[in-house]
Chains A and B, each alone.
Chain A
Amino acid sequence: GQNIDQPTEMTATEGAIVQINCTYQTSGFNGLFWYQQHAGEAPTFLSYNVLDGLEEKGRFSSFLSRSKGYSYLLLKELQMKDSASYLCAVRPPNRDDKIIFGKGTRLHILP
């Protein structure tokens, strides 16, 4: 089976850096997604990691350690618009199996 854990809520200050962690225990693994969801809107894709290491995309970076079952999303130079929920999702080894979402982390940005 699959089990994905993320903190429920986090708070950070505008201009700062925040790291959102995601741990997973799965019977198999084939990649990890991060999605952003603003209140009242649908989730939008941020990143997809298959190999270990850090992938940077502008102010957002995503890290994966397959051996530790661990990922994080790093947000730099925080802006008020980054206030949103961040969802971690695991892709199973069989491409035809459904991906599994965590419950998401609500990030609050303070001025």
Chain B
Amino acid sequence: GAGVSQSPSNKVTEKGKDVELRCDPISGHTALYWYRQRLGQGLEFLIYFQGNSAPDKSGLPSDRFSAERTGESVSTLTIQRTQQEDSAVYLCASTIAGGDEQYFGPGTRLTVT
């Protein structure tokens, strides 16, 4: 069946511009995570959606970052006024429940010039 999809796969933007990244989770998965991964580094948790509960935003690095999710469907991660340090791969993952095995999307590689 279809896995987690993310778009775009690559995004190059100029410093100061806003970008929007999209994640389509596996159908029926109630939980959705966003992570950031800089080159050669580990996963950095950004935000977590679980069903209708308030999202866990404790990993968002600044108020330039925000994310939305409508019900149990698509999620968008928005980065405003991008900075060069935002350059990274942004990974999305979904699970059936809050703590089960995560299925990762292929990621969006963001480059801020």
Contact = CB atoms under 8 A, between A and B. Distances in A.
A70 B91 CA distance: 27
Given A42-B105, A44-B104, A97 B42 contact: no
Nearest to B33: A98
Nearest to B91: A42
B102 interface: yes
Contacts of A95: 97-100
B56 interface: yes
* Interface bin, chain B: 20 to 34
Contacts, number: 61
Given A42-B91, A87-B43, A99 B102 contact: yes
Given A94-B99, A103-B43, 20 more contacts: A30-B99, A31-B99, A41-B106, A42-B104, A42-B105, A43-B91, A43-B104, A85-B42, A87-B42, A91-B99, A92-B99, A95-B99, A96-B98, A96-B99, A97-B56, A98-B33, A98-B45, A99-B102, A104-B43, A106-B40
B104 A96 contact: no
B98 A98 contact: yes
Interface of B: 33, 35, 40-43, 45, 48, 50-51, 53, 56, 91, 97-107
Chain A contact residues: helix, strand, loop or mixed: loop
A42 B41 contact: no
A60 interface: no
A100 B48 CA distance: 11
B98 A94 contact: yes
B6 to A, nearest CB: 9
A37 to B, nearest CB: 9
